[in-house]
């Protein structure tokens, strides 16, 4: 006949268990309690954050007389909800705003010029060590240098 081994009761403590195993089990239980306590704190913080975002969204859409868009605004905007972000989100979706609504000023840090954006991306990809064509042209000391930079950038044309 074959002998069977019962491995299901490995969690039961053996009366002859070593002190090291007993200490490790105790540490594991303490760590599990601490992890559960931290999970509860995280859940409470998440609930507070969500309620604060919901209140900010409700206040912003109510001030614009668009209370039906609260849930949409919560989905459209990530992070903190401010009246400026709400207005930008509504404008991006071509939702008409009341006439008396103050439009946010365009951020001067943002550039809508595609060539500048492309140049910044290229500079970042090159590690930032490469200067833009405009910067190199402004630092050029001679006409020959300017011609070389223009040719390198593909900005020259022959009309012959």
Average pLDDT over residues 28-43: 95
User: Distance from CA of residue 120 to its chain's centroid?
Assistant: 20
With a CB cutoff of 8 Å and minimum separation 6, the contacts of 118 are none
**Residue among 73, 104, 107, 145 at smallest CA distance from 153:** 145
Render pLDDT for 90-137 as a digit per residue (tens, 0 to 9).
888 888 887 766 655 555 455 456 767 776 777 666 654 556 777 888
Render pLDDT for 43-86 as a digit per residue (tens, 0 to 9).
999 999 999 999 999 998 888 888 888 888 888 888 888 888 88
Residue 15 confidence class, pLDDT cut points 50, 70, 90? low
Residue 13 confidence class, pLDDT cut points 50, 70, 90? low
Q: How far apart are CA 129 and CA 126, in angstroms?
A: 7
Q: How far apart are CA 110 and CA 117, in angstroms?
A: 9
């Amino acid at each position: 006949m074959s002998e069977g081994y019962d491995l299901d009761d490995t969690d039961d403590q053996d009366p002859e268990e070593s002190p090291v195993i007993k200490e490790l089990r105790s540490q594991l239980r303490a760590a599990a309690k601490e992890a559960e306590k931290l999970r509860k704190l995280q859940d409470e913080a998440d609930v507070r954050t969500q309620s604060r975002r919901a209140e900010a969204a409700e206040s912003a859409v109510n001030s614009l007389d668009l209370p039906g868009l609260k849930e949409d605004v919560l989905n459209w905007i990530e992070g903190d909800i401010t009246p400026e972000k709400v207005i930008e989100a509504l404008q991006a979706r071509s939702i008409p705003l009341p006439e008396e609504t103050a439009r946010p000023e365009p951020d001067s840090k943002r550039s809508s010029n595609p060539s500048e954006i492309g140049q910044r991306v290229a500079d970042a990809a090159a590690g930032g060590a490469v200067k833009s064509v405009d910067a190199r042209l402004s630092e050029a000391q001679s006409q020959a240098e300017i011609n070389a930079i223009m040719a390198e950038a593909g900005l020259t044309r022959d009309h012959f």
